[in-house]
Structure 1
Amino acid sequence: MAGRRRASRHGVIALCLLLVSLVACGGRPASDTARADVQRLLDRRAAAVLDRDAAAFRQTGALDWFENARGVPFAAWAYRLTGLHRDGATATADAELSYRIEGYDNAPVSVGRTLTLSLDAGGQWYVDGEKPAEKSAEQLWDQGAVTVVRGEHSLVLGAGQPTEKLHSYADLADRAVPAVSKAWGADWAGHVVVLVPTSLEGMAGLLGSPASSYRGIAAVTTGETGAPASAPADRIIVNPDAYGVLGSVGKQVVLTHETTHVATRAATTAATPLWLSEGYADRIGYLGSGRSPVQAAPELWQAVTEGRLPAALPEDSDFGFSGNANRLAQAYESGWMACRMIADQWGEAKLREFYKAVGGHKQRAGAVEDALDRVLGTNLDDFTARWRDYLRDQLD
């Protein structure tokens, strides 16, 4: 009797293991065989993208966004299956997509994708649809057909935008790159990638954030602070709604500002306060524009003339896009005036050195104070007093 009970328990365990190998936990995740089959499907799909082979792509399933992305110069495209949830003849796949744009990305851009799959009568998996994974940003080709324009120092990708307009962005970027290199130096990529979606909502989709966060913002630059040379290229993402209402000078200032962020990315770290990173980008953006402090800093000018002189440099929280628009404008203008003052009183070379010294600090605490002492020979109290005097002199 005892022997039979032991044999029965072993049989139950073996049966459970067999069931787990077939259906896994709860019957949702797929078998290893299905995972391998789907990974091979995704590998064929990736090869079709790189080969720009519509027929081969169609053999993996629906054409979906394929034609939208066909003109983008991809150097690499690969999927890594991270999850597969099967329900009979259908499944949902979670995958990490990694791609590189030829001549611009030194490392892959990685994004999450969700694919819906189905089995045909012959037991082959096909992709019925592909979209950004939950909480992952859209890609430009998710929004429509991508037009590609190459400049001397730029690659402009637009969705739903006329080619002529995209050429105007390339012209602006091609003027911005040499201007930034002249001010910052040539120790950066020396070219930029500009994405122009159809609207503010398209911009928000590319950033994976609500549109309300960027209303009135002409452009932003994506990228990892302190990124090494092996990082993917930053993307300058334009809000065509806000950018379109700017004059020619304003458009150039914005593109040069964003290009400065690209150039300074490796020297910009968690130790760098936003008043310095945004102020320096504005400093380079406004160089040669002919704009006076009163013209370029209207919110700060109004505050100074009304006797509301800022007591201190702006905090990072003052730069929130979703906050008060006047407060945001004054924060940018305050950072710009601080960098302008350093250039006026210590020189452009010292401004660059100061920027790099702050970013080279191991942590935020003490970064500005240490750089003020080592590079400019001053302290935070003296610097703040000088800055306030400078505001009175330039804006009152």
Structure 2
Amino acid sequence: MKTISIFLVVFLCFACKNQNKPEDKISIVNQELNITAKDILGNPEYMAISYGGYREKTREEQPTLAELMEDLKILSAMGIGIIRTYNVQLPHASNVLKAIRELKKDDPNFQMFVMLGAWIDCKNAWTGQEPDHNVESEANAAEIERAVNLANQFPDIVKVVAVGNEAMVKWAASYYVQPNVILKWVNHLQKLKEEGKLPKELWITCSDDFASWGGGDAEYHTPDLEALIKAVDYISMHTYPYHNTHYNPEFWTQPEDEVELSENEKVERAMHRALQFARKQYDSVSNYMKSLGVNKPIHIGETGWASISNGFYGPTGSRATDEYKQAIYHKLMRDWTNKAGISCFYFEAFNEPWKDAHNPKGSENHFGLFTVDGKAKYALWEMADQGVFKGLTRNGKAITKTYDGNENTLMENVFVPPTAEEMKAH
């Protein structure tokens, strides 16, 4: 028996010594090279989320590699398998890729994939001059080149490249371009794949509002959009019932037959209507695509719900904004998309205070499932209770729950949707 015990100890020590052998690491990298966007998207084993690691009121303060690694560990613990970034003009995206690679060096079993965004602008965007929406920015070519370089440098991590973010929707008045610009760059990337200058399994898309993909006004139904739908590997569409609680509030206001319900029931019913609103937008894009004789995957590149607003969506507006409603929406969207085989890049992982730097309570700063200082919002309280975040930190602080975990205090900030008459008054 003693001999067997000694043998077992020696064997286990040998196994521990060799578990991270170089050839093992190479094998894991090769395995991840073989995992493609087709394997990831629509697969609930690879939950998706939009990620920005910015902690300050300006993007000039870039998150450090250590801070990015902190965040990625948190997301991985949540079951996130693929994250979305938005541009490669700034160091953030390339540093995210470096952070993932560092984490994989430390733990060969660590896994995180990336949908890499390349930002696209029209001429004169963000310059103070009149934007020319029919001509693209001279900076676009360099942005695409940077994305290509990163996709080739990190082929085991980058599985999707998205050309533009809400770059075709006409309410993006500061920078939108015509579909032919997006089509040009999508075709360029597809050609690089054919020539072996990009990984052949890399998927190319554009991530844009549902209307930009033909699901809304007929003014978007152009030959260039038809060609774009045929050129991308899949459609990445955005849907925001949250914003429509102000701009298109018919689904949101209290119906007359709900007057006698409790406040909680009114909120629950409203959130289920919000889900149906998102599903209708998804179906509208699907129907338009199929009307062109095309049948490709459609995934949700963005959707989310803010937890604080002092504007259109706050207590004096549509009353849509609080952590309770955010949590309901997050769960409803995850349940629907997971069951339907749709990837949902939920917006977003962490609050980013740079988005509306001059208005700290502006809703754009508060779409995260975590606060900037690493507090888990109500949507994640159950995970916190389960110990998912045990031992993990953000900015060196342990992950705790907002409102000190007091649900009664949280509910004091929850308001029921207004009636039609109340909405008109605003």
TM-score by length of 1: 0.24
**Rg (Cα) greater in structure:** 1
Give the number of the structure whose residues are more often helix, by fraction: 1
TM-score by length of 2: 0.22
* Bigger relative contact order (CA 8 A; separation at least 6): 2
